Structure 1
């Protein structure tokens, strides 16, 4: 029998792709959001705030599995701590968390907060699963579009990415939510590794544009970590199927 699942961040980029997969699997779904929505497509929407804690305990009540997808530029560690506090004594049997590849290796504030959130999950007392994924195609597209809008294209030396499609991540998370707790599972990255300059040049070529390139160097510990590939998947990682080129072609055809 499919479990009753609470999804945080269920209305975001990833959540919108996960919910139909779990609905199709027969799960009873509840989505936690700050604004709340009327029920639809067999999904219950509840209002709560993971920063302040308002409504979180009520949202958790009765769920067997919690899929924690809510995240942002700041506060992921706080949100995880709030959620874990609400889980104590709740009867939840599985907590699934989406993190980022390199959370334990890249000395950047956002990565540190993701690692702190992972630690909250692992110390929650609830059986857990954490998936570290690469940056989504959507985020990569936003970054290279901004770069391409500059008069000169800045190209940080040694900066590499392996963008993954949000749909591939959603399918993996749905499978994990329906399976037994597995701890830290293999990373999930895109089909191949690209230099940031290569990604930006691909965008420019697809738009029929050209820019002068300006090599730049990322300083400090963060620069050394990126040049060492600490943001890339570890050996044995799983790979998504949809390529950056496929995503880019579809996105540009939609944008016109």
Structure 2
């Protein structure tokens, strides 16, 4: 490609994997960030704010492909609509968006925001691709680190997760970015399903800790969805190869 690929969220967990993969593929990359950065070879930085709608026009200028990774738990739909409105006006030919598995099934604010952003992309008039991925190993590690600081660890037994490695998500996104618009593609999940108690126990074991777990019920609509496995895609998803155990062995000493 001769024009740069505009990347939002390029300095986050996923973006830090995506940038070198795009560079290895011979792409010029332009990263939109709220903070100024010193340019490096093959990577430009544009300063702007998706929520405020500032700096987007100059960031999009000249880009034919936009890879939208920036996330905002409360304002995803707003920031995405601001981005794709400018992308449409600028004649962008492909918008790629990363969402979450079950965005249309889990009645929680984060999932609703992701679904709203998905709709913003699909309704933008710009050819698009959306990938829904499971929770990253990195996120699960952060959550467990906070939970296990307590003397007694809450463990909602209804919750099952199929965490995926962020590097595998990054590799898939780069493939999609360099391909033609494909709409909503198959979900990407990790190779194994774990209950929350299993995840907690494995984390404590690797840390050499022993703490009691207390079952925590999940009432209401959210509880029904999780008990039924509605947050998972058990059939038809693409599966990564790196397990939670592989990730723990690498990250936790």
Matching residue of 1:13: 13
Partners of 1:85 and 1:213 lie apart in 2 by 48
1:25 corresponds to which residue?
25
- Residues 3, 178 of structure 1: 8 Å contact kept: no
Q: Which residue of 1 aligns with 2:139?
A: 139
Deviation of 1:151 (Å): 1.0
- Residue by residue over 1:44-73, the C-alpha shift from the partner in whole angstroms, topping out at 9 and shown as x without a partner, is 000010001100011001001000000032
- Distance across 2 between alignment mates of 1:145 and 1:115: 28
Alignment of 1:37-52 (within 5 A): 37-52=37-52
Alignment RMSD, CA only? 1.1
Residue pairs, 1:3-152, within 5 angstroms = 4-152=4-152
TM-score calculated relative to the size of structure 1: 0.96
Within 2, Cα distance between the matches of 1:185 and 1:177? 12
CA contact (8 A) 2:158 2:218 kept: no
Gaps in structure 1 of 5+ consecutive residues? none
Structure 1 position 140, deviation (Å): 0.2
Query: Where has structure 1 moved over 3 Å in runs of 4 or more?
Result: none
The answer to whether the 8 Å contact 1:225/1:231 transfers is yes
- Normalising by structure 2, what TM-score? 0.97
Q: Measure the CA separation in 2 of the matches of 1:2 and 1:174.
A: 16
Asked if structure 1 preserves the Cα contact closer than 8 Å seen for 2:3 and 2:62, the reply is no
What is the Cα deviation at residue 158 of structure 1?
Answer: 1.6
